[in-house]
Amino acid sequence: MKGAVRWYFASSVLGGIVVAGAFLALGVTGRRTTQTIVVQSPVYSQPASSSASGLTPHDIYQRDAPGVVFVKAQIVQQIEDPFDLFPQQERSVSTGSGFLIDQRGDILTNYHVIEGASRTTGVSAQFEDNVTRQARVIGADPSNDLAVLRVDMSGVPSVRPLELGDSTTVEVGDPTLAIGNPFGLDRTLTSGIVSALQRQIQAPDGFSIDNVIQTDAPINPGNSGGPLLDAAGRVIGINSQIETGGGNGQGSVGIAFAVPVDTAKEFLPLLEHGRDAAKH
């Protein structure tokens, strides 16, 4: 790491302890709201109506926001006792975003959002109107910071899965939209452009993630695992990390990184065979 530059996973941890500076800590508010906040960026970064889709950012938000969920993971960590007499556990809550990718209830998110949680009982996904479902972790790819959750969709209002796009066609200057839960503010929409391509970031297990998309769409703690969309509302990336500029601030400075959706497309077929993914 050079100079004072710091990268952070764009998830939030509430209470308990924080693992090796990988997360940004936030205070527990003790309450949940379902606010919609639309943050307008400068005119140059506003996605105009796509000639192909004819959709405005508002249209895309109305269509896709219900498929973006608030992910909460109960993290349990073992605390070393120097005398090995009284083993202890520390508990914390990691929060982030995720989005529905099919009708059977599969949700794509970041691995670091759910890392350390029980795969069967430690994760929940909240849809609109505070409709919350227990989620099972059915697949994990720590080397690309990806995970897939599955929830029971019975009783959940009709939700449209988000369409996966093609990250290989993305170009610098293309408009982007991000939907997520920054600082716990449900389904916040922000906009920007693709700032750079083929960036490289570090995965939770230390491997490098390649072909990462850089955007200036405001991304903050809690956006982790949420979708980065193109002007037609197709997912081109999974928002994962932010650059804080080396200061003490925990918010966006206009530099964020998204794992390309084509990396996720390579990982998803493995789930049909009941396997996790990892680099060797």
- Tell me, what's the pLDDT at 201? 94
Please tell me whether residues 195 and 57 are part of one structural domain: yes
More confident of the two residues 29 and 188: 188
- Tell me, what's the pLDDT at 265? 94
Q: Which of 12, 45, 97, 112 is catalytic?
A: 112
Could you tell me if residue 233 is inside a domain?
yes
Could you tell me if residue 184 is inside a domain?
yes
Mean per-residue pLDDT for 259-266? 95
Please tell me whether residues 72 and 156 are part of one structural domain: yes
Contact 11, 208 (CB under 8 A): no
Could you tell me if residue 21 is inside a domain?
no
b (16+ CB within 10 A) / e for 113-149: bbbbbeeeebbbbbbbeeebbebbbbbbbbbbbbbbb
- Tell me, what's the pLDDT at 49? 46
Please tell me whether residues 176 and 232 are part of one structural domain: yes
Please tell me whether residues 138 and 104 are part of one structural domain: yes
Could you tell me if residue 278 is inside a domain?
no
Could you tell me if residue 232 is inside a domain?
yes
Mean per-residue pLDDT for 166-192? 94
Q: How far apart are CA 201 and CA 241, in angstroms?
A: 8
- Tell me, what's the pLDDT at 203? 93
Q: Give 241's strand partners.
A: 9, 257
Q: Which of 64, 106, 141, 145 is catalytic?
A: 145
Could you tell me if residue 7 is inside a domain?
no
Please tell me whether residues 108 and 137 are part of one structural domain: yes
Contact 125, 107 (CB under 8 A): yes
Could you tell me if residue 18 is inside a domain?
no
Contact 260, 204 (CB under 8 A): no
Please tell me whether residues 42 and 175 are part of one structural domain: yes
Domain boundary among 107, 127, 160: 160
Could you tell me if residue 20 is inside a domain?
no
Specify whether 224 is catalytic: yes
pTM value?
0.79
Domain boundary among 160, 176, 199: 160
Please tell me whether residues 230 and 241 are part of one structural domain: yes
Please tell me whether residues 146 and 123 are part of one structural domain: yes
Please tell me whether residues 171 and 108 are part of one structural domain: no
Structure confidence by residue, pLDDT tens digits, 101-157:
999 999 999 999 999 899 999 999 999 989 999 999 999 999 999 999 999 999 898
Burial label, 60 (beta-carbon count in 10 A; 0-12, 13-18, 19+)? buried
b (16+ CB within 10 A) / e for 208-218: ebebbbbbbbb
In Å, how far from its chain's centre is CA 134?
Answer: 18
Specify whether 280 is catalytic: no
Range of the domain at 126: 67-160
Domain boundary among 91, 126, 160: 160
Please tell me whether residues 86 and 58 are part of one structural domain: no
pLDDT above 80 (res 39): no
Please tell me whether residues 156 and 237 are part of one structural domain: no
- Tell me, what's the pLDDT at 34? 35
Residue of 236, 192, 198 lying closest to 218 (CA atoms):
192
Q: Which of 224, 230, 240, 252 is catalytic?
A: 224
Specify whether 112 is catalytic: yes
The total of structural domains in the chain comes to: 2
Please tell me whether residues 115 and 52 are part of one structural domain: no
CATH of the domain at 98: 2.40.10.10
